[in-house]
Amino acid sequence: MMPRMKACSNEGTRKRTASRSAAMTSQEVVRRASGTLSSDPRSNSLSSRRRCSTVFSDFYYIEYMRNISNIKYIDASYFYQKNLPTKLPTYEAYGYVKKKYKDKDIVIEFIKKISDNHGPKQIIKGLIIPANALVSASKNFKIQELRTIKKGSNVSVTWRDVVYVANKPRIACSIIYSEGILEKIAGSYIVLKKPETIKIYPLPIKNHPLKKPKYYMIPKSFITEVRVIE
C-alpha cells in the first residue's frame, strides 16, 4: 500500500481527500444519504445541528466526532498525607469529543475504531468527564448548601467523577458517595478529612480508591448533593 501522507499532511481536514473518504464510516454514509450532513462542514449551522440532535441523536454524536478537540478540565484528588496543594490540578487532553446537546457528560475518545460499525457506546480508549469539569465551568461554581454548613461538620457528598475507559461500553461518569469531616471550603473545591468513599454507579458498589485515603479534594462543580449527617 502506498503511503498517503503527502496529501494528508499538506491539506487541512476541511478538504476532502481520497483517504478521508475511504476512512468514512458507514454511519456517515447513511447520514449523508439522509441529508442531515452536507459535504461542506461549514454549511452546518448550529440551528441545523440542534434540529438534528432531536431527531437523530446518534448522528449528532458522529458530527461531534469529526472534530478533534483540546479539552482542559479538573478532577478530584485524594491524598494519604496532609501536604495538600492549594489548587486543583489541571488536566489537558486531545481527542474526539462526543457530546449530546445539553448532556451532563462529555465523552472524549483518544482512540476510535473505524473498521466496523460497533455502535456509538463502545470506547476503545478515552475518558468521560462531567460537563462541569471543564475549567471554565468549574470557576465560580457555587453550592447554596455549603453556605450554611460549618467546617468540621460530618457531611455526605454525592458527586460525579471523571472516569478513564478502555474497551468498555460506557457513556456516563461514575457516581461517587463520600462521607467525612468537612475540612476546608475553598473557591473551587472542598476537602473531606477521613473520607469513606464508595462508587455507587456503575455497579458493583466498591471503595474508591480501594485503599482509604486521608483527604479528598472534590471540585464543587462535581457535587450533586451535600448534606450534614449526625
Partner 1 sequence: MKIKSLPKFFPKNKKNNIIVELTILDDKKNKYKCTGVLMKENNSVLRIGFNARNNTVIDYLDVKIKQILDIKMIKSKEIKNLR
CA distance 32 to 18: 17
CA distance 108 to 218: 21
Task: Supply 188's cell numbers.
Answer: 473551587
Among 12, 35, 119, 204, binds partner 1 (CB under 8 A): 12
Among 16, 50, 72, 206, binds partner 1 (CB under 8 A): 72
In the complex, what is the shortest distance from the CB of residue 136 to partner 1, in angstroms, rounded to a whole number? 5
Query: Are the C-beta atoms of residues 195 and 80 closer than 8 Å to each other?
Result: no
Of 101, 103, 99, residue with least CA distance to 65: 99
Among 16, 89, 121, 225, binds partner 1 (CB under 8 A): 89
Question: What are the φ/ψ torsions at residue 192 (nearest 5 degrees)?
Answer: -105, 135
Site for partner 1 in 150-189 (CB under 8 A): 164
In the complex, what is the shortest distance from the CB of residue 145 to partner 1, in angstroms, rounded to a whole number? 27
In the complex, what is the shortest distance from the CB of residue 81 to partner 1, in angstroms, rounded to a whole number? 18
CA 1 to mean position of chain CA atoms? 37
In the complex, what is the shortest distance from the CB of residue 20 to partner 1, in angstroms, rounded to a whole number? 9
Which residues of the chain form contacts with partner 1 (CB under 8 A)?
1, 3-5, 8-9, 12-14, 19, 23, 67-72, 89-97, 106, 110-116, 124-125, 127, 134-136, 164
